[in-house]
Amino acid sequence: MALAFPRAARLTCTRHLKQNFSHTLADKVGLPSQERQRFITQIFGYNGIIAHGTDHMDIAYRLQHMAESTENRFVQKLIELMSPLLVENAKGLERPGLHLASPIWTNNNCESLNHCLKQALSWRSLKLVETPQHHQDSTQGSATSDLWCGRVRPLEEYQRFGEPKDV
């Protein structure tokens, strides 16, 4: 993805980040359950840093402050390692025209977008033997290649999300 779309926002599933953080605190750092839950709630909770950060810079500041005020060096290092992912998510969700009800991105968001796309295209799964014929039928008469190097443009309302091609 990074090679194909170098300037695209890449979002990481918040739910998985939370689970990874929790497992690392339990299995590698060895924090007791109550202390572990306190850190998780501070970052990922309903009133946590992610839910109430005003923008990516605010989230970065809050995470840095949390790391600096933590006495446990292992937890401090873990927060520092996770901060770039959380800040990158916040930057991606600040993208103009992207209106989400929540500052939390999960893989379910991707599945929902994928479902909408499939519905719009009347997509259906094909048997393996039907696939080559379907591909030939759908590309016949097209002046573009499979690499999308032709004059293909998205609809006007989606052009603001486009990324220039780097050659």
Per-residue pLDDT reduced to its tens digit, 66-103: 999 988 888 889 899 889 988 888 887 777 776 666 66
Average pLDDT (93-119) is 73
Distance CA 72, CA 89 (A): 26
Q: Is residue 73 part of a domain?
A: yes
Least confident of 3-7, 49-53, 77-81: 3-7
Q: Is residue 100 part of a domain?
A: no
What does the mean pLDDT of the chain come to? 79
Residue-number span of the structural domain to which 89 is assigned: 14-93
Total number of domains in the chain? 1
Q: Is residue 54 part of a domain?
A: yes
Closest CA to 82 of 35, 23, 145, 139: 23
Q: Is residue 158 part of a domain?
A: no
Q: Is residue 167 part of a domain?
A: no
pLDDT (tens digit per residue) in 9-24: 677 888 888 999 899 9
Q: Is residue 145 part of a domain?
A: no
Q: Is residue 99 part of a domain?
A: no
Residues 6+ positions from 66 with CB-CB distance below 8 Å: 42, 43, 49, 79
Q: Is residue 163 part of a domain?
A: no
pLDDT of residue 165: 63
